[in-house]
């Protein structure tokens, strides 16, 4: 479809830039008030090129926010015991407030055992059982970064209270779908979790006031699936061939041109959910340092994060 879409574009890049600015200000205040510098350690096992790019980006943005950052690199041949030991060492280091284990890990390493060695108070990626339990019980803790970013973007369109709204989450992964469903429930939405074995996905999606697509299939959600005026959050990042031979482009799980003609608001891919993930990682790291220092969270953490987590 051509022409300007009627849907409002949810500019995740702009929201993320503002969040990073607020985090940087919070870090500066924490340094001035308490002499405390938040520290993030990113653990990378192996030489996966995509993971290398992600780690460099995270380390760079951590430094730009005024935090201390370190990338801990282990060879792909490292044993599970060596990785677990490194995570345990970082967990005991008082200068490290946040730890992120870059996924995926080599096949011979059990991610669950590695995460079990991570101190819950330093789990800024929100992946340990302790973090998941606190989220599902509605207690304060760390929310996984991508779901937290989605919730902040939704709040910018729908407000913090989602009472009376129906939310449908397509995808039940522990990284995105399940924790985001819990966040939306806490905001009083009526939440339906859908997946590959759900019947009549199209009809279910069309009932949603808030539709989240996190299935990892390019263009899976068509425009006919969208309820007129709905808020559509596209978490998918899929690389497909472009019109230029030999080149690729990024697309989401939603057929954007179609959906944008029906939705009230929609996140683009790229520059939608993606930029929010690292910005929320920085916010979680600041939160970890504030809590470790016994300081009041409300004095240093951005309001959008406090309200959405």
The catalytically annotated residue of 11, 31, 48, 125 is 125
Packing angle of the helix pair 49-64, 12-34 (nearest 10 deg): 50
- Cα angle, residue 158 at apex, residues 138 and 16 outer, rounded to 5°: 80
The catalytically annotated residue of 102, 209, 227, 287 is 102
Q: What is the DSSP letter of 307?
A: H
Residue with tokens 């230029």: 244
* 24 carries an active-site annotation: no
Alpha-carbon distance values, 269 to 116, 167, 194, 221 (Å): 33, 21, 22, 14
Neighbours of 216 (CB within 10 A): 14
Q: How far apart are CA 118 and CA 129, in angstroms?
A: 10
Q: Which two three-digit tokens encode residue 222? A: 């068509």
Per-residue burial over 171-198, b = 16 or more CB atoms within 10 Å of its CB, e = otherwise = bbbebbbbbbbbbbebbebbbbbbeeee
The sign of the dihedral angle between the CA atoms of 179, 185, 187, 192 is positive
214 forms bridges with which residues in the sheet? none
Beta strands in the chain (DSSP E): 8-9, 39-45, 68-74, 98-101, 166-170, 190-194, 210-213, 231-234, 238-241, 248-251, 265-266
* 271 carries an active-site annotation: no
* 125 carries an active-site annotation: yes
Packing angle of the helix pair 129-137, 177-186 (nearest 10 deg): 30
**DSSP β-ladder status, 39-45 and 68-74:** parallel
| Residue numbers annotated as active site | 58, 102, 125
């Amino acid at each position: 479809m051509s022409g300007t879409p009627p849907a409002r574009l949810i500019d995740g890049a702009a929201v993320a830039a503002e969040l990073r600015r607020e985090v940087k200000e919070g870090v500066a205040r924490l340094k001035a008030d308490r002499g405390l510098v938040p520290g993030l350690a990113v653990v990378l096992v192996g030489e996966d090129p995509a993971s290398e790019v992600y780690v460099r980006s995270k380390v760079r943005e951590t430094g730009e926010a005024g935090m201390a950052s370190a990338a801990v690199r282990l060879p792909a041949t490292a044993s599970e015991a060596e990785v677990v030991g490194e995570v345990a060492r970082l967990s005991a280091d008082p200068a490290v407030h946040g730890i992120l284990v870059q996924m995926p890990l080599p096949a011979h390493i059990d991610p669950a055992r590695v995460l079990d060695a991570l101190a819950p108070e330093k789990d800024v990626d929100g992946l340990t059982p302790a973090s998941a339990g606190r989220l599902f019980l509605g207690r304060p803790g760390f929310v996984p970064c991508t779901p937290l970013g989605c919730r902040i973007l939704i709040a910018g369109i729908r407000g913090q209270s989602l009472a009376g709204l129906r939310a449908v989450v397509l995808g039940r992964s522990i990284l995105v779908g399940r924790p985001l469903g819990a966040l939306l429930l806490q905001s009083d939405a009526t939440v339906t979790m859908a997946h590959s074995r759900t019947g009549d996905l199209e009809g279910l999606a069309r009932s949603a006031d808030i539709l989240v697509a996190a299935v990892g299939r390019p263009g899976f959600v068509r425009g006919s699936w969208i309820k007129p005026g709905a808020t559509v959050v596209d978490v998918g990042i899929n690389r497909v061939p472009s019109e230029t031979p030999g080149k690729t482009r990024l697309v989401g799980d939603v057929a954007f041109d179609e959906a944008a003609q029906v939705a009230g608001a929609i996140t683009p891919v790229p520059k939608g959910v993606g930029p929010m993930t690292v910005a929320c990682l920085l916010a979680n790291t600041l939160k970890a340092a504030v809590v470790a220092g016994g300081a009041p969270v409300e004095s240093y953490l951005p309001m959008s994060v406090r309200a959405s987590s």
